[in-house]
């Protein structure tokens, strides 16, 4: 029997930001000797533990509770900072740890950790992955490159992984595209972008971290342009082609964009940087991708936003439903500037007007400028990159979905991070301020059995189970209608609601929250609500919020349980609509055709495999809602090594 009582508050576990590594100092001899004897003692006891508990075959052994965690791993987690010391954003997934200094590692077992691996999101076979790099369509294949650590499930030793696909869903892993083997990229082959030239050839610009940790820009190109798989790459012998200009610090110069053509026939790129706390996008012109001219001024700058990483710049059509090549310009075009903010690890965008002559861009709405307004995604989503898909005349968006569990758990399972489902991206002609993001149509090829529910009435304070079988891999499309009489009767007031600062679904209002409970167990002790919350202002106007509450997503103590979300514009005559892709530990949610998007990583311990269920819920105090849904079970994608590819990633 499902408990239909209103939700009650539960304590949520927070985590803490990692602290950076201590600066290395020369230690006195007595201190060195003390450390030596301490290490010797620790080593002695470690040897004893190994001899008593070790496994002859070298595999991790479960304890008597079926857990991979040993008694020592259940001590306080000690997060490690990864990235800032060498000049990139924080890559540690334990940013929330300092909020609870007594955080303990949860005793995950093999079954739980295996369930977390996704079925139709792209990820390498093992180890760490982060930013999407240089996506393109070439000679019948979609190419996807990505930041990859070939040695461990944590950030470091970054090279370029490479995979190809015919449909953006099923992927074949290829050998590493570029490794850190030159002085100019010895400390990392970092993020870059592809440009397809008019003759069909490909050039790749990427950031390298030198032996001295200076960020420089490098040129690479395919060794054989006739090879549709682009397996082998050549680094230009004259690299680096760009170094930090005067006034820019050595570690504040990274992530070149795809180039676009100017009316003068020059190629133009932009690179992220900062001056003090002002985020900026530098602009360069080039005729040959070897020699560059720095333009006066910047493409755009926003004070207080800090370092801009992974800048993207592209046109969107005001009149058509197709994507545009990066070089397209004209009166029927708007331009988007997107920046990944190093300081808060979110991707912000704004729509505006590009002035080619002086290489500047001005936002249409300064109040929602880059870094202070709209985000691609209000969940865990970063370092996004688009590319123009000339195969289907669309612009496709990739984004990195990091982990929000403990680094210790990532090392146990042997992998960390996935990529979002590729999304098409269009200008929202109805609002004029937003972009619309939507999963690429190819994802629908994975749909299996479908279920339909029409006009399901959900009374205030109730939960309704939806019988769709195991709810681990789903594609859900839903519409909601709230009781009109309740809307009219509700008294307006000053709206102070915010998804992130609210109590989640336990914060009851007259008109919300209501929506779906995904990855929920029968008792609802674990659940991830995806929901709307409507508030009526003192002026009588409605404000609609779209949220995702992770506070009860897991009983585990060492995972992030934030509440995500933001306002979503709902225009006159529109029904409340959402689409949710559930793929094991990932929940991607799209409201109102993709105006507002939220991606969550969740780590249930009970609501897994066949125990994962789906429910409708309504925790409003005064209004009932009606829901109509179409739900598909989803097949798994084929993501495996390319046939005869003997090189392992």
Known catalytic residues are 131
For residue 282, give the nearest of 325, 320, 248, 231 by alpha carbon: 248
What is the distance, to the nearest Å, from the Cα of residue 589 to the centroid of all Cα atoms in its chain? 13
With helix as H, strand as E and coil as C, how does 583-608 read? ECCEEEEEEHHHCEEEEEECCCCCCC
Return d(Cα 187, Cα 516) in angstroms, integer. Answer: 45
Phi, psi (deg, nearest 5) at residue 444: -70, -15
Return d(Cα 546, Cα 326) in angstroms, integer. Answer: 31
For residue 396, the cross-strand partners are 387, 424
Return d(Cα 444, Cα 637) in angstroms, integer. Answer: 11
Classify the C-alpha dihedral 230-236-240-241 as positive or negative: negative
Phi, psi (deg, nearest 5) at residue 425: -135, 125
The pairing of beta strand 141-149 with beta strand 127-138? antiparallel
Return d(Cα 314, Cα 386) in angstroms, integer. Answer: 8
Return d(Cα 82, Cα 99) in angstroms, integer. Answer: 19
Cα distances from 171 to residues 516, 642, 645, in angstroms, run 31, 8, 13
Return d(Cα 277, Cα 308) in angstroms, integer. Answer: 10
Cα distances from 308 to residues 146, 564, 596, in angstroms, run 19, 22, 22
Return d(Cα 347, Cα 311) in angstroms, integer. Answer: 9
Question: Is residue 339 helix, strand or coil?
Answer: strand
């Amino acid at each position: 029997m499902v408990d239909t009582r209103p939700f009650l508050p539960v304590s949520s576990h927070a985590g803490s930001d990692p602290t950076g590594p201590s600066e290395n100092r020369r230690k006195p001899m007595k201190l060195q000797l003390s450390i030596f004897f301490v290490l010797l003692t620790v080593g002695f006891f470690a040897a004893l533990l190994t001899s008593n508990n070790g496994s002859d075959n070298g595999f991790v052994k479960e304890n008597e509770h079926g857990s991979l965690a040993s008694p020592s791993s259940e001590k306080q987690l000690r997060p490690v900072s990864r990235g800032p010391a060498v000049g990139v954003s924080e890559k540690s997934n334990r940013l929330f740890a300092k909020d609870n200094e007594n955080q303990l590692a949860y005793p995950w077992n093999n079954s739980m950790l295996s369930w977390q691996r996704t079925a139709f999101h792209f990820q390498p076979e093992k180890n760490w992955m982060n930013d999407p790099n240089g996506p393109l369509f070439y000679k019948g294949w979609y190419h996807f490159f990505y930041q990859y650590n070939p040695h461990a499930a944590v950030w470091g030793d970054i090279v370029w992984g490479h995979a190809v696909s015919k449909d953006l869903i099923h992927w074949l892993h290829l050998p590493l595209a570029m490794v850190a083997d030159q002085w100019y990229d010895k400390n990392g082959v970092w993020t870059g972008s592809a440009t397809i030239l008019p003759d069909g050839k490909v050039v790749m610009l990427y950031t390298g971290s030198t032996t001295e940790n200076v960020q420089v820009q490098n040129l690479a190109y395919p060794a054989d342009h006739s090879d549709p798989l682009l397996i082998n790459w050549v680094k230009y012998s004259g690299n680096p082609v760009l170094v930090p200009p005067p006034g820019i610090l050595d570690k504040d110069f990274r992530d070149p964009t795809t180039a676009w053509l100017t009316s003068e026939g020059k190629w133009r790129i932009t690179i992220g940087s900062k001056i003090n706390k002002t985020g900026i996008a530098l602009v360069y012109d080039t005729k040959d991708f070897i020699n560059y001219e720095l333009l006066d001024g910047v493409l755009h700058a926003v004070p207080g936003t800090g370092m801009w990483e992974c800048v993207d710049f592209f046109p969107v059509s005001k009149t058509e439903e197709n994507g545009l090549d990066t070089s397209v310009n004209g009166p029927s075009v708007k331009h988007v500037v997107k920046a990944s903010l190093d300081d808060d690890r979110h991707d912000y965008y704004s729509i505006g007007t590009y002035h080619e002559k002086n290489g500047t861009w001005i936002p249409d709405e300064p109040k929602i400028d880059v870094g202070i307004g709209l985000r691609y995604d209000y969940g865990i989503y970063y370092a996004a990159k688009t590319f123009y898909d000339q195969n289907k005349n669309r612009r496709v968006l990739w984004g990195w979905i990091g982990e929000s569990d403990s680094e210790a758990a990532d090392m146990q399972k042997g992998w960390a991070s996935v990529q979002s489902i590729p999304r098409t991206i269009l200008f929202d002609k109805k609002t004029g301020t937003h972009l619309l993001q939507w999963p690429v149509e190819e994802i629908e090829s994975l749909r299996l059995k479908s279920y339909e529910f029409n006009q399901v009435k959900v009374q205030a304070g109730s939960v309704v189970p939806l019988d769709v079988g195991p709810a681990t891999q789903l594609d859900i499309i839903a519409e909601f209608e709230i009781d009109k009489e309740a809307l009219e009767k509700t008294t307006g007031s000053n709206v102070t609601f915010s998804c992130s600062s609210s109590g989640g679904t336990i914060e009851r209002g007259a008109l919300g929250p209501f929506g779906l409970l995904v990855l929920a167990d029968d008792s609802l002790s674990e659940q991830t609500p995806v929901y709307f919350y409507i508030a009526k202002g003192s002026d009588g106007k409605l404000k609609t919020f779209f949220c995702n509450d992770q506070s009860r997503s897991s009983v585990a103590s060492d995972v992030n349980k934030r509440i995500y979300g933001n306002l979503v514009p709902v225009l006159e005559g529109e029904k409340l609509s959402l689409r949710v892709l559930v793929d094991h530990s990932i929940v991607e949610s799209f409201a109102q055709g993709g105006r507002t998007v939220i991606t969550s990583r969740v780590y249930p311990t009970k609501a897994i495999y066949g125990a994962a269920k789906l429910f409708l819920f309504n925790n409003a105090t005064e209004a009932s809602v009606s829901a109509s849904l179409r739900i598909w079970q989803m097949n798994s994608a084929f993501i495996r090594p390319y046939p005869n590819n003997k090189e392992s990633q």
